[in-house]
Amino acid sequence: MKKGFNWGVEWTRETDAQTGVEITKLCDYKSHSNHLYFTNPGWHDNNNRLVLCGDRNNRANLFDIDLRSGEITQLTDLDTRRTARDAELSVSCVSEKNNEAYFNHNDELRALSLETLEERVLWKRPPDGFVNIINPTADGQHIIACLCEDLSTRIRMDLTNGYVGMDEYFDAKPRCQLLRIPVNGGKPEVLVDENLWLSHPNASPTKPNLLTFCHEGPWHRVDNRIWAMDTDSGKIWPVRQRRDPGEVIGHEYWLADGERIGYHGTRGREAGGGSFLGSVRFDDTDAREYEFPGSSWHVHSNDDRLVVGDGQVGGDVLLWLRNANGYDTPRALCRHRCSMHVQNVHVHPRLSPDGGYVLYTSDKTGYASPYIARLPKELRAYSVST
């Protein structure tokens, strides 16, 4: 189908058998659909519309759903089948300021108007490199991206489907560049150039000059996971450095204020082990960490009062509410029953900007779909963006 095609309304509603929470399945097509990566919110039009990605007619494309009516509109018409590189659509991003979406396809970084559906090419990457997550700056003027050396001819790699080759790629010390790409034309600016695996560029949602990126690889082997940068001064510094030899942290994300960075991790054996949730200011001050019961693959929050996580494979979407001393025992919001066997069917839960619901993906019915689970009324006050 062509861009602009209206697929109609597919959503269905149900009540979670375990918690009684209202759940809406957004897509019902016999192939996989999912929301964007959890650090790349897809909401726009005052949070009334949401950009999704999925497979239809044996092709991967971007779609838009009206969260008031349920109508799904096709945004792109890409001549492609699902491959490892097509999984890049899951890490597309939206700039509500520009009313545009940005995505990678055929070695090109493209901009897509969410109003007219017109596309333009911002940058063509070299054939010997690949790009992972992309992120817009708060002022809408730039896209932040990591360009990584493609070593797939030397190393058996399938990072999208099971992290195959992760240790080998880390050990190879690939050349990677952190880029700032103008959305209105012009050459990319190289912010960082290292023989080190760089990934997960995240721009502050409120401060155009602030961003984070990570030293990627097995979490227990990297020198330091989270790094921050002020693009005005060019200064780069480590954030939340390792405190004991076996400690690991990751899945960092910006809180809604654009000044604090959230993350989760586990202590090393010498420090007694155990999981913790944390957040820290971008300047590596005012770190707040709390041990928390349970475990989770990914977590997200608008601030540090209410945290959502995806628990374990086939398990529950979990909520942790902070009290005076730490976090309460996790509360199940709903059963996700997700396999998490490849990136596009990771749960990747995240709170909506208005704090009314959790968006997540599950393949519990055989085909993946994005879902919305409404938060109980008594918790919504704790989850609103501040």
Say how far apart CA 350 and CA 345 lie, in whole Å.
14
Residue 30: pLDDT band (50, 70, 90) is very high
Inter-CA distances, 166 with 33, 101, 107, 217, 317, Å: 26, 29, 22, 6, 27
pLDDT of residue 312: 86
Say how far apart CA 157 and CA 182 lie, in whole Å.
30
Each residue's pLDDT tens digit, 143-194: 999 999 998 888 787 666 656 667 898 899 999 999 999 999 899 999 999 9
At residue 104, what are phi and psi to the nearest 5 degrees?
Answer: -105, 135
Q: Which residue has the higher pLDDT, 297 or 160?
A: 297
pLDDT of residue 162: 59
Half-sphere exposure of 330 (CA within 13 A, CB side): 24
CA torsion angle 187 192 196 202 (round to 10): -90
pTM for the predicted model, two decimal places: 0.94
Residue 86: pLDDT band (50, 70, 90) is very low
